[in-house]
């Protein structure tokens, strides 16, 4: 992995397994766009009242030349996001889509619709 990576855990203990999964996901993003200059990941387990399961929030800040991509996945009552790995998958998938769209725009491959 070439991308400088910063991982922060808030409201939960650091997990080597979760950190490794994040590193794998960033490596896959590098396959989509090889010019990622930095990636910051915040994994948070905010305290929420009246809920049985713990839901996770993930924020990704990905720097590309000329573009900053931000994905903020806040999981209001989405029970599938009680699994931190599912939450990470969804956040990184959203980032992958945004990176691909940015790459296509930079190559002028996105069709413009005339009026």
Tell me the per-residue pLDDT of 22-49, one tens digit each, with 9 for 90 and over.
999 999 999 988 889 999 999 998 765 5
User: What is the mean pLDDT of the segment spanning 69-90?
Assistant: 83
pTM of the model: 0.84
pLDDT tier at 60 (50, 70, 90 boundaries)?
very high
Q: Where are the domains of the chain?
A: 5-106
Q: For residue 39, give the nearest of 53, 24, 50, 54 by alpha carbon.
A: 24
Classify residue 99 as left (phi > 0), alpha (psi -120 to 50) or beta: alpha
Average pLDDT, the chain: 85
Which pLDDT value is given to residue 108? Answer: 72
For domain 5-106, give the fold.
Answer: Double Stranded RNA Binding Domain (3.30.160)
């Amino acid at each position: 992995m070439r991308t400088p990576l910063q991982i922060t855990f808030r409201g939960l203990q650091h997990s080597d397994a979760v950190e490794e999964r994040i590193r794998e996901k960033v490596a896959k993003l590098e396959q989509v766009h090889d010019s990622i200059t930095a990636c910051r990941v915040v994994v948070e387990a905010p305290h929420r009242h009246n809920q049985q399961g713990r839901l996770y929030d993930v924020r990704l800040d990905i720097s590309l030349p000329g573009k900053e991509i931000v994905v903020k996945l806040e999981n209001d009552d989405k029970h599938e996001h009680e699994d931190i790995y599912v939450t990470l998958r969804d956040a990184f998938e959203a980032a992958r889509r945004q990176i691909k769209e940015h790459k296509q725009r930079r190559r002028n491959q996105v069709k413009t619709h005339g009026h």
